[in-house]
Amino acid sequence: MKKYYFKAEKLRVGYGKQPLIENIEICLEKGEILTLIGPNGAGKSTILKSITKQLALLGGTVYLGEQDIGQMSGNELSQNMAVVLTEKLRTEMMTCEEVVATGRYPYTGKFGILSDTDRQAVAEAMEPVHVTSLKNKDFSKISDGQRQRVMLARAICQEPEIIILDEPTSYLDIKYKLDFLSILQEMRKKKELTVVMSLHELELAAKVSDKILCVNGSCVERFGTPQEIFKEGYIEKLFSIETGSFDERSESMELESVKGKPEVFVIAGNGSGRNTYRRLQREGIPFATGILFQNDLDYPVAKALAAKVIGTAAFEPITEAALTEAKRCINACERVICCREHFGTLERENQELFDYAKSCKKQIETGR
Ligand SMILES: Nc1ncnc2c1ncn2[C@@H]1O[C@H](COP(=O)(O)OP(=O)(O)OP(=O)(O)O)[C@@H](O)[C@H]1O
Q: How does pLDDT run across 239-249, given as a tens digit for each residue?
A: 999 999 999 98
For the Cβ of 14 lying below 6 angstroms from any atom of ligand 1, the answer is no
Please give the Cα distance from 304 to 252 (Å, whole number). Answer: 10
Evaluate if residue 88 carries a pLDDT over 70. no
Note the pLDDT of residue 106. Answer: 84
Evaluate if residue 7 carries a pLDDT over 70. yes
Q: Which of 20, 49, 58 to mutate to test the pocket of ligand 1 (most atoms within 8 A of CB)?
A: 20
Distance between Cα 14 and ligand 1 center (Å): 9
Q: What is the mean pLDDT of residues 346-363?
A: 93
Evaluate if residue 110 carries a pLDDT over 80. no
Please give the Cα distance from 29 to 177 (Å, whole number). Answer: 25
Note the pLDDT of residue 332. Answer: 95
What is the pLDDT confidence band of residue 108, given thresholds at 50, 70 and 90? confident
Residue 46 CA, closest ligand 1 atom number: 18
Note the pLDDT of residue 241. Answer: 94
For the Cβ of 257 lying below 6 angstroms from any atom of ligand 1, the answer is no
C-beta separation of 238 from 38 below 8 A: yes
Closest protein CA for atom 26 of ligand 1: 40
For the Cβ of 13 lying below 6 angstroms from any atom of ligand 1, the answer is no
Note the pLDDT of residue 57. Answer: 96
Note the pLDDT of residue 75. Answer: 87
Distance between Cα 20 and ligand 1 center (Å): 9
Q: Which of 12, 22, 45, 52 to mutate to test the pocket of ligand 1 (most atoms within 8 A of CB)?
A: 45
Q: What is the mean pLDDT of residues 248-261?
A: 91
Sheet containing 308-312, strands listed edge to edge, beginning at the edge strand earlier in sequence: 308-312, 287-293, 264-267, 335-338, 363-366
- How far CA 166 is from CA of 44, 45, 198, 223, 336, in Å, comes to 8, 6, 5, 18, 48
Closest protein CA for atom 8 of ligand 1: 46
Q: What is the pTM of this model?
A: 0.90
Q: What is the mean pLDDT of residues 322-346?
A: 95
C-beta separation of 198 from 205 below 8 A: no
What is the pLDDT confidence band of residue 1, given thresholds at 50, 70 and 90? low
Evaluate if residue 109 carries a pLDDT over 80. no
12 DSSP β-pair partners: 59
Number of residues written out for the chain: 368
For the Cβ of 156 lying below 6 angstroms from any atom of ligand 1, the answer is no
For the Cβ of 18 lying below 6 angstroms from any atom of ligand 1, the answer is no
Please give the Cα distance from 7 to 211 (Å, whole number). Answer: 13
Q: What is the mean pLDDT of residues 115-142?
A: 92
Lowest mean pLDDT of 53-62, 107-116, 280-289, name the range: 107-116
Please give the Cα distance from 240 to 326 (Å, whole number). Answer: 34
Evaluate if residue 87 carries a pLDDT over 80. no
Q: What is the mean pLDDT of the chain?
A: 93
3-state class (DSSP) for residue 56 = coil
Evaluate if residue 183 carries a pLDDT over 90. no
Tens of pLDDT, residue by residue over 162-181, are: 999 999 998 889 988 998 88
Note the pLDDT of residue 62. Answer: 97
For the Cβ of 15 lying below 6 angstroms from any atom of ligand 1, the answer is yes
Residue 47 CA, closest ligand 1 atom number: 18
Distance between Cα 139 and ligand 1 center (Å): 26
Distance between Cα 72 and ligand 1 center (Å): 26
Distance between Cα 219 and ligand 1 center (Å): 14
Note the pLDDT of residue 121. Answer: 92
Closest protein CA for atom 11 of ligand 1: 41
What is the pLDDT confidence band of residue 269, given thresholds at 50, 70 and 90? very high
Evaluate if residue 91 carries a pLDDT over 80. no
Residue 209 has phi, psi (to 5 degrees) of -85, 145
Note the pLDDT of residue 85. Answer: 87
Evaluate if residue 350 carries a pLDDT over 90. yes
- In single-letter form, the type of residue at position 342 comes to H
Report yes or no for ipTM above 0.90.
Answer: yes
